[in-house]
Structure 1
Amino acid sequence: MPADRLHLVRHGEVHNPRRVLYGRLPGFGLSVDGRRMARQAAEYVHGLDRPVSALIASPLQRTRESAEPFEALFGIEPVIDERVIEPTNVFEGRRMKRALANPINWRHLRQPDVPSWGEPYAQVVARVTAAMDDAWDRVPAGDVVVVSHQLPIWVTHLALSLQPTRHDPRKRRCALSSVTSFERRDDADGSRRWVEVAYAEPASTAGAVDVGAV
């Protein structure tokens, strides 16, 4: 038997006083509020009263720290999976408004459907869904929690919903410490597909700084 449900959980607020696009840069851990948000996300999943059998996290500091409350509440150690990491982008370490004001950077915006400023959306979806498939098949029963990042979660949602992955980053439905839940179901033709079954924003994010990635 495979797993029962898989939850894609976004990390909490990051300590980012300069408000740069941190991407995959090291040294960006959770703020005090971010740790509270991560705890609220874990408490939400715990409150579903569903057994969690596996915990997976991106290798970046903010996701590993966001996995800690899940480890404490469910008593399971996280497995680090590079496939659910933040995508690369050429604007890492910069402030977005300043970067876009410089004409030399405009060339990076020439193909927003790819996108031309970072890792292709199709590649992100492929690696995240591969990690989801492997986790689902590896866990004999119970739920899986995957702690990841906004863009991987959002473009995976779009792709699995059969929507175009090109989008406006300002309009993503993937708040800090949000939980997007999926199940795998059988179609009439015998194939299996991921189906989103729930989305929740259990953490209070009022006043949060959320400018870390594109």
Structure 2
Amino acid sequence: MSSPIFRRLSMHHKNRPFRIVILGQNGVGKSALTVRFLTQRYIGDYAPDLENTYTYSKCLDGETVTMEIRDTAAQVENNRLEANIKWADAFVLVYSITDRCSFNECSRLKVLINSYAKSKKPNSQNSSSLPMVLVGNKSDRTHDRMISTAEGREKAYEMNCAAFYEISVREERDSASGIFLNLYKSYKRPGRRSGRSELQQRLSCPPSLQFTPELTDSERAKIPLRRRKALYTIS
């Protein structure tokens, strides 16, 4: 029979919430994405300097899963960003397909995640062990598009993301749910960083998200040769 203290520790570990941090520039739709997932409603206007943490519970495969989702403001203070990264179990990086600066910001955030996550687990050889997904929002604004779907997919591949999504939080009611629930499944999947072939399979989304998991020949031809070689060297 286990002692009371071991039972308490076991229960604490079992009941620990799954912590997700949403990162990206202001105005890309981080809060709208969060609220769409929590309530299925769309609200367009939010205070850009507010940070909120929400709790959400759902039964998945017979297990009650509790999530803590932290919707961040764009953070100039690196110490605050570092604290949020160290707090998280997984990340959602959001950009707007109409804003290249927000797209480039995701690359910077990935570097910081690697750095801070490694300091969180200094003995770990793989600082990318925490799963993340890349989300391109505002796909309904086709006439304002600056980032192609192929470019977003390539970026997700380069950053070793668990999945890539291109969505419209405004227009699509169920897309947010798929992002968060699939992120949890990726976190729970054994050996979730086991090479490029598995990553290619994970870079797929439900058909409702209108995502094509592989580059077409014409899309790949548009990628400079140097970038195409990089795609094949990522382990």
Normalized per residue, which structure has more helix?
2
Q: Give the structure, 1 or 2, with the largest relative contact order (CA under 8 Å, sep 6 or more).
A: 1
Query: What is the TM-score with the length of structure 2 in the denominator?
Result: 0.28
Query: What is the TM-score with the length of structure 1 in the denominator?
Result: 0.29
Larger Rg: 2
